[in-house]
Amino acid sequence: MSDRSETLRRWFPTPFVAIVVLLVVLIVLTPNLLSSASPSAGSLPTEAELIVDHASGDTVTHLYVRGIGLVRYTSIAVVVVGNFSWTSPPSSSNLSFGKPTKWTDVLAASTATASNPFAVNVTAVYVDASGTTVDFVGTFAFDLAGGVLSEIVYVPSTGGVTTTPENQLPLAIVLETVAPGGSS
């Protein structure tokens, strides 16, 4: 080996050169890898979630529906029903949902309820740039008693009652992804 290549190798070790080359390639390609177009239907940024929040001492519970990423939904429909019997676990047969409040072409939707217990039925519809549609759905019942929020999930069915202390709210629940117009 020549003295020249030995000197270069001493000052520029092969692992170091490989890392630098990899970083340069990533820096050059990253703008092309990150698309500014709307995300595809069903991808992580389009996933919708229901957020339940009740501040200590407040008389209402606030409900928010939004995407995990910054996406615009074609529509978000929310129905809140109260005044039903809370038994453990509450039966979905106790629930009678009426006409939903519907928001169109929105990033998020919010509503509030003073009912306790209360149930929520949510549908968020997302359409991507190619016209592919996906629905995000969920049906839940909640009861706030003794500083604890009890929750039962009907759609997607998880079974049983889970609890969250009021001081650990807000509670974020990812909605189920279904085919357009579908339910589980």
The mean pLDDT values, 10 residues at a time, for the chain of 184 residues are 70 78 78 65 91 91 95 96 79 85 97 94 94 94 92 81 92 90 54
Q: Do 29 and 52 reside in the same domain of the chain?
A: no
CB 155 within 8 A of CB 176: yes
Range of the domain at 12: 3-33
Let me know if residue 104 belongs to a domain. yes
Task: Please indicate, yes or no, if residue 95 is contained in any of the structural domains.
Answer: yes
CA pair distance 158, 99, nearest whole angstrom: 25
* Together in a domain, 24 and 52: no
Q: Which residue pairs from 35-39 have beta carbons closer than 8 angstroms and sit at least 24 positions apart in sequence?
A: 37/129, 38/71, 38/72, 38/128, 38/129, 39/69, 39/71, 39/128
Tally of domains within the chain:
2
Are 103 and 136 within one domain? Answer: yes
Q: Residue for token digits 């820096």?
A: 27
* Residue in the structure block whose two tokens are 């020549």: 2
pTM: 0.77
Token digits of residue 141? 């019942």
Are 110 and 81 within one domain? yes
